[in-house]
Amino acid sequence: MGRFTKTFREIRKDMFQICGGKASHLGELTSIGLSVPYGFCIIRDAFFHHLKENGLERDVFGIARTIDYEDIADLDKKTENIRSLIENAPMPKEIEEEITDGYNSLGKDDPFVAVRSSVAIRDSEISSFPGLMDTYHYLKGADRVIDYVKKCWASVFTSRATAARYRKGIDHERAIIAPIVQRMVNAKCAGVMFTLNPVNGDLSKIVIEGAWGIGEGVVSGNVTPDRFVVDKVILEVNEKQVSCKNLKYVYDPNEKKAVYKEVPEEDQRKCCLEEKEIMELVRLAKLIEDHYKIPMDIEWAIDIDFEFPNNVFILQARAESVWSKKKAEPVVGKKSSYELLMERAMKTIKLNQ
Query: Mean pLDDT across the stretch 328-335?
Result: 52
According to DSSP, the residues that pair with 318 across neighbouring strands are 297
Q: Is 33 helix (H, G, I), strand (E, B) or coil?
A: coil
Instruction: Count other Cβ atoms within 10 Å, centred on residue 33.
Output: 8
Strand partners of residue 177? 119
The CA radius of gyration of the chain, in Å to the nearest whole number, is: 22
Contacts of 314 (CB under 8 A, 6+ apart): 29, 34, 35, 36, 284, 288, 298, 299, 300
Helix (H) or strand (E) holding 210: strand 205-212
The residue among 297 and 126 whose pLDDT is bigger is 297
Report which residue type is found at 223: V
Count of residues making up the chain: 353
User: Is residue 117 within 8 Å of residue 133, measured between CB atoms?
Assistant: yes
Q: Angle at the Cα of 61 (from 60 to 67), degrees rounded to 5?
A: 95
* 172 and 162 Cβ atoms separated by less than 8 Å: yes
Architecture of the CATH domain 5-183:
2-Layer Sandwich (3.30)
Greatest alpha-carbon pair distance for the chain in Å reads 86
- Rounded to the nearest 10°, the torsion over CA 85, 89, 92, 93 is 160
pLDDT, tens digit (0-9, with 9 covering 90-100), for 185-214: 999 999 999 999 999 999 999 999 999 999
Cα(86)–Cα(57) distance, integer angstroms: 10
Contact residues for 165 (Cβ-Cβ < 8 A; gap 6+): 171, 172, 175
Can the peptide bond before residue 37 be classed as cis, meaning omega within 30 degrees of 0? no
**Neighbouring C-beta atoms of residue 83, cutoff 10 Å:** 22
Give dist(CA 231, CA 251) in Å, integer: 35
Contact 298, 193 (CB under 8 A): yes
Mean pLDDT of the chain: 91
pLDDT at 325: 67
- Indicate the pLDDT class of residue 151, thresholds 50, 70 and 90: very high
Cα-based distances in Å from 191 to 81, 221, 273: 34, 11, 11
- With H, G, I as helix, E, B as strand and everything else as coil, classify residue 285: helix
Q: How far is CA 350 from the centre of its chain?
A: 52
Closest CA to 160 of 133, 180, 137: 133
Residue 215 has pLDDT above 60, yes or no: yes
Q: Which regions of 83-198 does DSSP assign to beta strands (E)?
A: 113-116, 119-121, 136-139, 175-177, 180-183, 187-194
Q: What is the pLDDT of residue 351?
A: 37
pLDDT tens per residue across span 257-287: 999 999 999 999 999 999 999 999 999 999 9
CA atoms within 13 A on the CB side of 226: 21
Domain 187-325 has CATH 3.30.470.20: yes
Using the predicted structure, report yes or no on whether residue 29 has a pLDDT greater than 60: yes
* Interval 8-26 mean pLDDT: 97
Query: Which amino acid makes up residue 257?
Result: K
pTM: 0.88
Domain boundaries defined on the chain? 5-183, 187-325
Confidence of residue 327 (pLDDT cuts 50, 70, 90): low
Give one DSSP letter per residue of 150-167, joined into a string. Answer: HHHHHGGGSHHHHHHHHH
